[in-house]
Structure 1
Amino acid sequence: MSVVALRNRLTNDDIRRLVKGENDETRAMAARKICRRMDSASLTDAERKAAQDILAVIARDATELVRRALAITLRQSPNLPREIARKLALDVDSVATPVLESSPVLTDEDLLSVLQDAETVKRCAIAGRAKVAPIIVHELLDSRDEAAVSIAAANDGAEFDEAAYQRAFTEFCESSGVMDSFVARSHLPLDVTERLIAHVSDVALNRLVKSHALPPQLAVELSEGARERATLDLVDQAGLAHDPKHFVQQLRLNSRLTPSLILRALLRGHIAFVEHAFAELAGVTHSRAWLLVHDSGPLGLRAVYDRTGMPSRLYPAVRAALDVYHGMEVPQDEVGRAQFRRVLAERAITRFQGIPEEDLDYVLSRFDDDAAPEKIAS
């Protein structure tokens, strides 16, 4: 199939506008239309080869707007020939950026080649890709470009290995932009979280302690005011802890595993924490505590509760909260979990009016925080 044959699948107007459009905008729109049609999965091999020849012509066009139309239209296409993608990636920023941000045909070798002579705009585009290999992360660190490194730090798809984290803290510890950006990641190693505490701004610190599990001892120290400008809610840290058993043990060693903390955690839906807390206080294994806490009969929970040494006056509130919990389905999304916590607390409070006023005020004060994900989602 020749280029002529392929042209039969386009209109004469498309070709005419591309070659002799009355202005750059008209030619760019023609290029966009042609690129969209050429990206069709129905093209034969011969047609695709002919299409690549036309794309090469567009990539060499003297008009930046025409080349940008090509880059934007095929930025996520697996059908964009690698050589053309490489050419676009080395073009001016407006043309290169869409391809550098999204093109799946560019290899790490291609990206490294671009980074050798890249300025900030191109570095930032590469740093924000859906997947950034460790070798690319280190190249970005080599550039000492704070804007690009900040984007990579906040990008879950940027793979920071242990050496990259170490370099970031060594070379950018004075950059609040870089340090704060790490907080945006959905997961951080515990040692990284601990090191961030000393480097992030107040606002970022508050996000850090609300979004990432802290090492247990550090959580206790912060909540006790080791750093006065930090506010830490141990209840929600209980829910974030990746190792609830260790977290509970540290709390007990620091005399922070209080009945009030356990009741508040229960009313916030942090059931795993409550199980481990009961196991620690009752001196039984977690599996044994789990069976007793979730026993549908009247004796199991009472048996483990009495062994914890918690006040008998709180038992009806614990019983009511667990009964409500067992009658609900825990959703998996954050907005759903926020609503779940609210309903759990409201129903438990309604069922048992004897919850201590201080704990009740605490739970009610958390409702506003739970509403934040709902506002974002709306």
Structure 2
Amino acid sequence: MATTRAALTNDDIRMLVKGATPDERALAAHRLCRKIDRAELSEEERLQAQEILRVMAADAAELVRRALAVTLKTSPLLPPDVANRLARDVESVSLPVISFSPVFTDHDLAEIIRLGGPVRQMAVARRPKLSSKVTGLLVDQAPEDVVAAVCANDNARFSDLALQKALDRFAKSESVLQAVAYRAVLPLSVTERLIDMVGDQLREHILDNHALSAERALEIIVGAKERATIDLVDQAGRTADPKAFVTHLNRVGRLTPSLLLRALAHGHMTFVEWGLAELAGVPHHRTWLMVHDAGTLGLKAVYERAGLPSRLFPAFRAGVDAYHGMEFDGRPGERERFQEHMLQRFLTSSQAVSREESDYLLDKLDRLAGFKARAAG
């Protein structure tokens, strides 16, 4: 090994083997590791260099073994048997290698996870690259903080099953739920489950950054915003300034076609009139005439001017017609009865209501039925 010995120097090797103090041997180990990592070695020289590294890994001084671990933690030249020996060493030696060494196989990492304890598991969780096999093991076996760390590692690959298991094990853990929510990519099944487990801030992040089915997205958006706005519409019906209310909603981007359609299905016609007037830029009295036009042209004209989607117009038409066919009867509970009848008429009259809208309206009918049952009780 003349070439390698010349590159490494005989003095360095002699100091490594015979150095009087750990400090001297650690300095020699550092120099040797740097030179081994940078040298162009033949196969024979590489094998001999590995033997030198094994001598370092067996040194009684922690300082020497740490010099080896830190200097070659990212090197592909570290022999796998040496890497695994260092991984079982004290933490000051093992953690640099576990955290970064590219020579570990999935089987090696699985053994570290199984036997190494939480500190070493955390080092595995934060590695620059992890397979789905390794992340699955961490999710199965590691404590909460380790699972949160691996879920936050976007260079770690996950199976759908492993992410679901993380949600199963740590359904109440804010750190795990947040780590999953902030992953760059999530499977649809995980996103749609996670959305029901988190608070408003994380829910907004998920809606903005992850894919959801159209049905689920609509349900969530309406649940978080438009259903709350419908409650405001109920209050607005008792105020004297619906114009200001719809102007505010339009300014903040919440005067949506879906909101107007659902308000119509609830029988909030005054709100719908003012909403159409706001979007169309038409005075309310003219909007009222067009909405309640006995013919077929008025509603269509103001609807189109408001820029609402043509696919929803048949539903709006059916809703207005249903409204005109209903009357308040003045008896106790008339508001709930009117809404129930309105929703039933709307659902049965309109062929244009989407599945998402139908599900929402049916849910509202269920709630009204619950109200009636409580009132009767």
Equivalent residue, structure 2, for 1:268: none
Alignment of 1:160-239 (within 5 A): 160-226=158-224
Question: Is 1:108 aligned to 2:106, yes or no?
Answer: yes
1:147 paired residue among 138, 145, 157: 145
Deviations 1:197-248 (A, max 9, x none): 23235544443333334443444344445379x9xxxxxxxxxxxxxxxxxx
Q: Cα–Cα, structure 1 residues 167 and 10, in superposed 2: closer, same or farther, change >3 Å?
A: same
Amino acid aligned to 2:77: N
Contact 1:176 1:199 in 2 (8 A): no
Q: Deviations over 1:290-344 (max 9, x none)?
A: xxxxxxxxxxxxxxxxxx94669xxxxxxxxxxxxxxxxxxxxxxxxxxxxxxxx
In structure 1, distance between residues paired with 2:216 and 2:182: 20
Secondary structure of residue in 1 paired with 2:53? helix
> For residues 239-285 of structure 1, what are the alpha-carbon distances to aligned partners after superposition, in whole Å with 9 as ceiling and x for unaligned?
xxxxxxxxxxxx866669x99xxxxxxxxxxxxxxxxxxxxxxxxxx
Amino acid at match of 2:49: A
Tell me, yes or no, if the aligned pair for 1:35 and 1:73 is still in contact at 8 Å. yes
**Aligned position for 1:348:** none
Q: What is the CA-CA distance between 1:194 and the residue it aligns to?
A: 2.1
The aligned amino acid for 2:169 is E
CA distance in 2: counterparts of 1:174 and 1:72, whole angstroms: 38
| 2:184 counterpart SS class | coil
For residue 287 of structure 2, what is the aligned residue in structure 1? none
Distance 1:202 1:72 in 2: 43
Distance apart, 1:14 and its partner CA:
2.9
Q: 1:30 aligns with which of 8, 28, 31?
A: 28
Distance 2:218 2:107 in 1: 46
Match of 1:48 in 2: 46
- Structure 1 residues 64 and 210 mapped into 2: Cα distance closer, same or farther (>3 Å)? farther
CA–CA distance in 2 between the matches of 1:60 and 1:144?
30
Q: CA 1:24–1:183 in 2, change beyond 3 Å: closer, same or farther?
A: farther
Task: Decide whether the 8 Å contact of 1:176 with 1:201 is kept in 2.
Answer: no
Partner of 2:62: 64
CA 310–89 in structure 1, closer or farther in 2 if over 3 Å, else same: farther
Deviations 1:172-211 (A, max 9, x none): 1121111111123111122212222232355444433333
Separation (CA, whole Å) in 2 of partners of 1:153 and 1:84: 29
Change (3 A) 1:311 1:198: closer
Offset of residue 38 of structure 1: 0.7
For the Cα contact (< 8 Å) 1:180–1:201, is it kept in 2?
no
Determine the C-alpha separation between the residues in 2 that align with 1:176 and 1:47.
52
Asked whether the equivalents of residues 179 and 196 of structure 1 are also in contact (C-alpha less than 8 Å), the reply is yes
Alignment of 1:308-327 (within 5 A): 309=304
Which residue pairs with 1:74 in the alignment? 72
Contact 1:82 1:106 in 2 (8 A): yes
Counterparts of 2:33 and 2:76 in 1: how far apart (Å)? 13
Distance 1:85 1:174, change over 3 A: same
C-alpha distance in structure 2 between counterparts of 1:11 and 1:182, whole Å: 51
Please state how far the C-alpha of 1:120 moved relative to its aligned partner: 1.0
Q: Which residue of 1 aligns with 2:93?
A: 95
Match of residue 137, structure 1, among 135, 138, 144 = 135
Contact 2:135 2:156 in 1 (8 A): yes
Q: In structure 2, how many angstroms separate the alpha carbons of the residues matched to 1:42 and 1:166?
A: 47
Aligned pairs for 1:264-279 (under 5 A) are none
Contact 2:135-2:157 within 8 A present in 1 as well: yes
SS at match of 1:98: helix
Correspondence for 1:127: 125
How much does 1:87 deviate?
A: 0.8
| Kept in 2: contact 1:132–1:159 (CA 8 A) | yes
Q: Tell me the percent identity.
A: 43
Q: Secondary structure at the match of 1:61?
A: coil
Distance 1:310 1:42 in 2: 75
Does the C-alpha gap of structure 1 residues 121 and 198 become closer, same or farther in structure 2, counting only changes over 3 Å? same
Question: Shift of residue 44 of structure 1?
Answer: 1.7
Map Cα deviations across residues 328-377 of structure 1 (whole Å, 9 max, x no partner). xxxxxxxxxxxxxxxxxxxxxxxxxxxxxxxxxxxxxxxxxxxxxxxxxx
Query: How has the CA–CA distance of structure 1 residues 144 and 79 changed in structure 2, closer, same or farther, with 3 Å as cutoff?
Result: closer
Q: CA deviation at 1:154?
A: 1.4
Q: CA RMSD in A?
A: 3.4
Give the partner amino acid of 1:57: V
Cα pair 1:81 1:105 within 8 Å, conserved: yes
Which deviates further from its counterpart, 51-60 or 100-109?
A: 100-109
For residue 179 of structure 2, give the secondary structure of its aligned residue in structure 1.
Answer: helix
Residues in 1 aligned to 2:24 and 2:225: alpha-carbon distance in whole angstroms: 61
Q: Deviations over 1:111-132 (max 9, x none)?
A: 1122221111111111222332
